[in-house]
Amino acid sequence: MHRDTVYITVVDLDRMAVSLICSLYKGFGTGIASERFGILLQNRGAGFCLTQGHPNEMAGGRRPMHTIIPGMLRRGGRVLMPFGVMGGAYQPEGHARLVSNLRDFGMSPQAAIDAPRSFADEGVLKLERGYDPAVRQELAGMGHDVVVPDAPVGGAQAIMIHDSGVLEGGSDPRKDGCALGY
């Protein structure tokens, strides 16, 4: 599921940062590539809805909600961390979870990425392995339909730019990818 999304982040010698995400969205895609850049165009028009009054109602000048979200944290006018989360509808929640892990829990980029994830999806609460069984049981007792997903919930990449200029990369073991430096 959602294996057609690629996220890349790069920070150069001058600390110029790039956060790039590309996804066809579903296996269909558009089958059209940019002649100039070779980037495949996506079919996010599939996010439109024909229900009148729906926020994603198809109409002229409208854009459907979608999840192509390359992230970039800044502080004091300086880039702190380019990052991205893959995983379809999980992406907005994944961005919030990653930033919360960094800011609220003081985790490193790698630890924030590695932490187990939860995701309310299609009527069930997916809790990755790594949650205490007591947490699963308590959530189920509150009425949640708790499941442990067979597949990972999303993926992420990040590069923290420390005040000293040191770069600290994090790469999600749930997906293909790596953090490289020189």
Residue pLDDT, tens place only, 99-156: 999 999 999 999 999 999 999 988 999 999 999 999 999 999 999 999 999 989 999 9
Q: Where are the beta strands (DSSP E) in the chain?
A: 5-11, 17-23, 70-75, 78-86, 118-121, 124-127, 146-147, 155-161, 167-171
Find, among 87, 78, 137, 89, the residue nearest to 113 by Cα: 87
pTM score, two decimals? 0.83
| Catalytic one of 5, 9, 30, 67 | 5
Residue that the structure tokens 């000293």 belong to: 164
Is 9 tagged catalytic?
no
pLDDT, tens digit, 9 for 90 and up, residues 33-83: 888 988 777 766 777 888 998 888 888 888 777 778 899 999 999 999 999
